[in-house]
Structure formats: C-alpha cells, structure tokens
Structure 1
Amino acid sequence: MKLLAALLLAGSAVTLAPTATADASTPCDWVSVREATDILGQPVAATPRQAGCWYAISGEQPGLGISSEVLAPEAMPAAAEPVCITEPMTTPPSTTVIARLNDNRIYRATATYQSCDTVTRFARIAIDRFS
C-alpha cells in the first residue's frame, strides 16, 4: 500500500472534471457498452460487480477488459489530482487511473494491456457522469 501511495503522489496528473450525474446503482451505465467498445476497439460485454462494472473484451483471450468502480474514501490513498499508473511488470500488464470524486469517494478504472491514454479516455466518460 505504501508503494501505491508513493506512485499516486508521483504519478502524472490527469484532468478529469466531473460535469454530470451518474446513478451509483447502475454502474454499467457510467460507460456504455458502445462507448467501451469504441475506446477499446473491440466488442465488449458489461457485467455488474459489487462496486462497479467489468467490461470484458469479446474474443479468444478470457480475462481481458477494463474494470470501472467507485470505492469508499478510505479504500485506498488518492492524490489530490487524478493519476495514471502503468504496471508493466504485473501479470498481465495493467494500467490504472484513479481519481477522487467530489464526495471524496475514489473512482478507479483498471485495464489489461492498455495505455494510459486509453484508460484515461474511458475514465473521463465515467467521471464526467458523476457530480
């Protein structure tokens, strides 16, 4: 956890300003299947999860996709500015964007084999739907 906190504080800032409202009870609506498909460049299927939604990339490699979730403020450290963290040494390599929402909850999007630009585009859509 200390390593994650250090990475968050040292990470590059990403500007994600919330501008709309999202209903926390419908997490797969934060980013539509069509939007996720456009961003990832492959068809996806959305499956609700406890704290969010899993967008699985359709195809021959199960487990690839992007997760989108909102966590309680104390769930993990978060810098004042949103950050993107690339973890090339994890299996599979992953990229995470973390942002603090206006109500202090934490938004997190994590994808396998994706760039910061791709995950940031995805996160921007979801965060723009929160007020």
Structure 2
Amino acid sequence: MLLLPLRWLCARIGPFLVLLAGLWMFVQSSAVIAFGLITSPASFLVLRGVQGAGAAALTAVALTLLPRAFPSPDRREAALLGWSGVLLVGLAAGLMLGEKAFWMNLPLGVLSGATTLRLLRTRLAA
C-alpha cells in the first residue's frame, strides 16, 4: 500500500533521503522493541506498523535505485534476484530468531545508515 507513494516521494525528494527516513523508522522501532520499552500490546502493534512503513521505504528505494544502477537487462535481473534472495534470508532469519531479530536490526541499521550518509556526502560533494 505504501510502495507507490514512497516511489513517488523518491522521485520528488531523492532516494537517499527516503532511504535514511526508512532506516530511521525501522531501526528506532526495532530499538524500542528490543529494549523492552513497550507498554502494551497496542504499542507493540503500532511499532510494528512503523517498522513496516520503514521497510516499505527501503523497498521503494531499492526498486528505484536498482534499475538505475544496473541498466543492462541481464545485470538488472541478477541484481533483483540477489536483492530478493537477501530479503528471503532476512525473513527466514527473523522467523527463526524471534525477538532476537530486533537486536540484529540495530547494528545492521546503523551500518546501513552510516554507509548511506557517506555515499550521500560523496555524491553531494561531486
């Protein structure tokens, strides 16, 4: 439901800003859940919704950037297959790890955010 509006937002403000916002939403909601700061089942559901919106932003960015990064149809197909494979591994790991998956999201999200900021800074400097 959010993919089309988020892809539109990528076209308007740029994919890097949407990526950073999605990462922030995903990591912050994971942190609140991981540290046990949830006060009720309703707050857990709200945080999972925020996490889902952040994940939708990341998906919208990937679907925006992959065709640009891989203009050749063969390479684009391989990139989309690789991206899909990583998503499936993440889904399976989340199901197997249970609540520990929220802890796993924290370092991965911080690393992704730092890498994005570095790439954005390099791109703006060019």
Taking structure 2 as the reference length, the TM-score comes to 0.25
Taking structure 1 as the reference length, the TM-score comes to 0.24
Which structure is higher in RCO with an 8 Å CA cutoff and minimum separation 6?
2
Which structure has greater helix proportion?
2
Larger Rg: 2
